Amino acid sequence: MEGYRMFVFSEEIGFVEVLIRIPGSSYREVIKQFDKLLGITRENERFLYAEMLRTLSDVHYRAFLKNQEAEDLNNAISLLEDARQIFTYLGATPYILDVDERLVRCYGLLRRRSAEQSKEKTKNQEIIKEFCKLVRHISNPEQLKQSFISMAKSVTGAERGLFITFDRDTDELMVTGNDIDRATVFDAKEFSRNVINRVKRTKKPLIVYDAVNDEKFKDYESVRINKLRSILCIPVVSNDVVLGTLYLDSRSSSKLFSEQEERFFSSLSMLLADSLSSALDYRRIKNETNMLRYNLRTRFGPKNLIGRSEIMQSVFDRIERFAKTDVPVLILGETGTGKELTARSIHFLSKRKDKNFLVVDCSSISQSLLESELFGYKRGAFTGAVGEKMGMFEAADGGTLFIDEIAAASHSLQARFLRFLDTQEVKKIGATRYKKVDTRIIVASNKDLYKLSKTGRFIEDLFFRLSRFILKLPALRERKEDIKPLLDYYIDYFNKKYFKNIKGVTPEVFELLYEYNWPGNVREFVNEISRCVFFCEGETITKEYLSEGISRSKPHFLTLSRMKQRAINQYIKQVLSFTNGNVTKAARILGVDKKTIYRNVMGKKY
């Protein structure tokens, strides 16, 4: 008899065994056991089956309260509705009332969750909208990462955040963010490395609800030191390549990060991955372009100005800067340093490049003829003026007029230059009215204009007017590192001109070229290489082809005092470059008067 009762009520016994196991089992394990018993009781014991449905709904309900998974709540409601149907059929009114009470509670949670989800959806849409707007205007990868960190912290309430980038070339993890201690940075890297490795396998992020009590994480140094509770690591993946991870944590509360936030930021990270990948590509292309530009400039510079030295790079920078404006420029440099070529470069890099570039050398024309060349004249203005002539100021309207060796101009011409700089107006010889022209002026000199202005040989006001924007060209002896690129370029140039196939020079020849003082600067150097290539019979230029002055030259060394003066000059030039040629600002920075700068930079002795 006892055995029979055990058989009849074996379902109840199994039910009780399950109930006993609930406190010590996971919800998923309990549900699994319930599912087995439901299959047994469905046909044999309808009341017991309904009671089991009601109890199983409680399991799902508690699972929902813990994990906030919508599936658990929907399962609880479905089970209660099935149980109610059975209790209604059996007429079990007390049980029906109990089920109804539970359904009301579940429906309330469902409505509240739907409202929260709707609100969350709207909020997420706004976040995505703002994020898209943000990334559209940011091309700097570091700014993108920092913006993503700030937004994630704001949305989740995280205390701290980092963006950790994986460098595939060095296998190093690089950190963006500065509000976390060193120990956490170290551990965050380890978390991120784990996430990166996990993503390669599972494509899933890492979320820790209570790190300080979690067996997997409680031994991490930062977890112990900072008593970290909540941790969230979201991978940023583009085309199956892990670009990095977002790391967030909180010391104040556990379970700060929800699975919904994990999913949301995982989705958002896809947008970031695309933007970050594009930004990285943009930066790479920009860097490659800059490198290409630099490599080209180390050989040729603007318009075939050749040099890789630091001082020539500064010259190239200023040429490009001056080309963007219409300011009058004063080019200073010894004979043969390339003043006219520099002026041409400024013109052809400017918006005036399609207009005239005219040149006048004040030292090669008589003063009377120079005035008529520059300003023009009316018919009958003087004996021999049988017709009207347009001056170069007017002919260069819309373009550039380069006035070389301005120190050779007479005082009366200097005065007319000064007036033109102030008014942009010219008047022909014999005319009664001035005419407005849009001509950019670039002047040059190999003289010490400051000294000339102090001795009265150059109008001081004109000097101060011109000296606001100065471009000082270095002598070749001051940039010996440019000998090699100059040599390579001009051997190739004259090979084509003279139909030669010169491969280079001997080490002895290169040493002589390098040690020579080059008083005639680049012009002298070009003439020397031209002659060597022309007369050389073999493929290599040897000492016998060098001019006597160079082949017999001795190494040139400066005295300590001159070397000191050169260092001072170089530093002043760097400050002038920083101030865009503004002498007043440079003097203020250096703590000297303007005369000191003029004396050092514009003097002929260095």
What is the DSSP pairing of strand 172-176 with strand 160-167? antiparallel
pLDDT recorded at residue 163: 82
Task: Look up the domain containing 518 and give its range.
Answer: 476-551
In this prediction, residues 188-213 reach a mean pLDDT of 72
Q: What is the pLDDT of residues 407-431, one digit of tens each?
A: 999 999 999 999 999 999 998 888 8
Q: What is the pLDDT of residues 129-174, one digit of tens each?
A: 666 666 555 567 777 777 777 877 877 788 888 887 766 555 667 7
pLDDT recorded at residue 87: 84
Residue 349 lies in a domain: yes
Range picked from 148-152, 153-157, 244-248, 468-472 for highest mean pLDDT: 468-472
**CA-wise closest residue to 334 among 603, 567, 597, 566:** 603
Contact 336, 520 (CB under 8 A): yes
Residue 207 and residue 343 in one domain: no
pLDDT recorded at residue 558: 58
Residue 236 and residue 353 in one domain: no
Residue 160 and residue 240 in one domain: yes
Residue 450 and residue 339 in one domain: yes
- Residue 235 tokens, joined: 């991978």
pLDDT recorded at residue 28: 60
What are the phi and psi torsion angles at 377 (to 5°)? -155, 160
In this prediction, residues 435-439 reach a mean pLDDT of 92
pLDDT recorded at residue 301: 43
Asked which of 456, 472, 488 is the last residue of a domain, the reply is 472
Residue 241 lies in a domain: yes
Residue 321 and residue 262 in one domain: no
pLDDT category at 297 given cuts 50, 70, 90 is very low
CA pair distance 599, 305, nearest whole angstrom: 27
Contact 325, 349 (CB under 8 A): no
Residue 6 lies in a domain: yes
pLDDT recorded at residue 524: 94
> The tokens 């109610």 sit on which residue?
84
- Residue 94 tokens, joined: 């007390």
Residue 232 pLDDT greater than 80, yes or no: yes
- Residue 434 tokens, joined: 């001035």
Beta bridge partners of 436: 425
Query: Which CATH number belongs to the domain containing residue 26 in this structure?
Result: 1.25.40.10
Contact 428, 375 (CB under 8 A): yes
Query: Which CATH number belongs to the domain containing residue 591 in this structure?
Result: 1.10.10
Asked which of 472, 501, 523 is the last residue of a domain, the reply is 472
Q: How many domains does the chain have?
A: 5
Residue 530 and residue 404 in one domain: no
Residue 133 lies in a domain: no
Residue 568 lies in a domain: yes
Query: Which CATH number belongs to the domain containing residue 535 in this structure?
Result: 1.10.8.60
Q: How would you class 287 by CB atoms within 10 Å of its CB: exposed for 0-12, middle for 13-18, buried for 19 or more?
A: exposed
Residue 66 lies in a domain: yes
pLDDT recorded at residue 335: 92
In this prediction, residues 340-360 reach a mean pLDDT of 90
* Dihedral Cα 173, 177, 178, 179, nearest 10 deg: -110
Residue 434 and residue 480 in one domain: no
Residue 10 and residue 156 in one domain: no
Residue 333 pLDDT greater than 90, yes or no: yes
Whole-number Cα distances in Å, 56 to 27, 28, 89, 110, 409 = 10, 11, 20, 18, 106
Query: Which CATH number belongs to the domain containing residue 389 in this structure?
Result: 3.40.50.300
Residue 62 and residue 74 in one domain: yes
Asked which of 284, 317, 343 is the last residue of a domain, the reply is 284
Provide, rounded to the nearest whole percent, the portion of the chain with pLDDT above 90: 24
Contact 75, 82 (CB under 8 A): no
Residue 339 and residue 452 in one domain: yes
Contact 475, 468 (CB under 8 A): no
pLDDT recorded at residue 296: 43
Q: How many CA atoms lie within 13 A of 604 on its CB side?
A: 10
pLDDT recorded at residue 6: 34
Residue 336 and residue 445 in one domain: yes
Residue 519 lies in a domain: yes
Residue 292 lies in a domain: no
Contact 182, 170 (CB under 8 A): no
Query: Which CATH number belongs to the domain containing residue 209 in this structure?
Result: 3.30.450.40
What are the phi and psi torsion angles at 437 (to 5°)? -135, 155
Pick 601 or 549 by higher pLDDT.
549
Give the range among 114-123, 357-366, 502-511, 542-551 with minimum mean pLDDT.
Answer: 114-123
> The tokens 């490599």 sit on which residue?
295
Residue 508 and residue 480 in one domain: yes
Residue 440 pLDDT greater than 60, yes or no: yes
